[in-house]
Amino acid sequence: MKEKVIWVLDDDMVSQFAILYSIEQSFGNCRVVSFYNPLEVLEHLLEYQSNNIRLPDKLLVDIVMPEMSGWLFLNELKKVPELFDKIDIYIISTFSNPEDRNLVKTHTLIKEYFNKPVSKNSITRIFS
């Protein structure tokens, strides 16, 4: 079975660690790459795509980040359909804003969303 590649975009180190730990405990055949800055993810995705390097299978994105929100990140990603068509995108966030809750349900790039802290059941659903 081919190794799954998961990218996690979250500015919170504790959340990053919890997600990484849950994935490693539940699914051994995967590689998790952590990012704290949305611009860095966009750069990597464009570079990987232009150099024909394997893109991640799944991308977990936080909504609330300092330099660029998850929404702005998704809007930028939407400009490059050959990227987002190949990646399953999940939102991981603390949904305190009702507007975010509604938007996440209707956004075309998002497969599913999960509240933080991300549970082992949520990780299992992402991989199923």
β-partners of residue 6 are 32, 58
* Beta strand 4-9 pairing with 58-61: parallel
**Domain ranges in the chain?**
4-127
Q: pLDDT grade, residue 1 (50/70/90)?
A: low
Report the distance separating Cα 95 and Cα 79, nearest Å: 25
Q: Is 26 exposed, middle or buried (0-12, 13-18, 19+ CB in 10 A)?
A: middle
> Domain 4-127 in CATH: superfamily?
Response regulator (3.40.50.2300)
- 6-10, 46-50, 106-110 — most confident range: 6-10
CA–CA gap between residue 101 and residue 40 (Å, rounded): 26
Report pTM. Answer: 0.91
Q: Residue 70 in contact with residue 38, Cβ under 8 Å? A: yes
Q: Is 59 exposed, middle or buried (0-12, 13-18, 19+ CB in 10 A)?
A: buried
Stretch 71-85: mean pLDDT: 87
